[in-house]
Amino acid sequence: MEFSNQCPRCRAGRLRGWSELNDEDRELVRRLPASGEYSLEERKATHRWCKRCWYESTSGAAEKA
């Protein structure tokens, strides 16, 4: 299954995995409100973010190593 990297919210940004974020972006992600059902470790492993609008994809698309 292939996942789109285009942000579904703003359509201008690209969804990035945890490893693609710099230290400043990671700190911002830590401060974003997240649903209580996801731990930070789970978010790091499976979620993706748009740096343009900070949409968080929870589709479960595992980050490529």
**How many independent structural domains does the chain possess?**
1
Residue from 65, 64, 45 nearest 3 by CA: 64
Give Cα 15 to chain centroid, integer Å. Answer: 6
For residue 63, is pLDDT > 50?
A: no
pLDDT tens figures, 9-49: 999 999 999 999 999 999 999 999 877 789 999 999 999 99
Cα within 13 Å of Cα(55), Cβ side? 16
- Its domain, for residue 36, covers 1-65
Distances (CA, A) of 60 to 23, 24, 51, 57: 23, 23, 18, 8
What does the pLDDT read at residue 30? 94
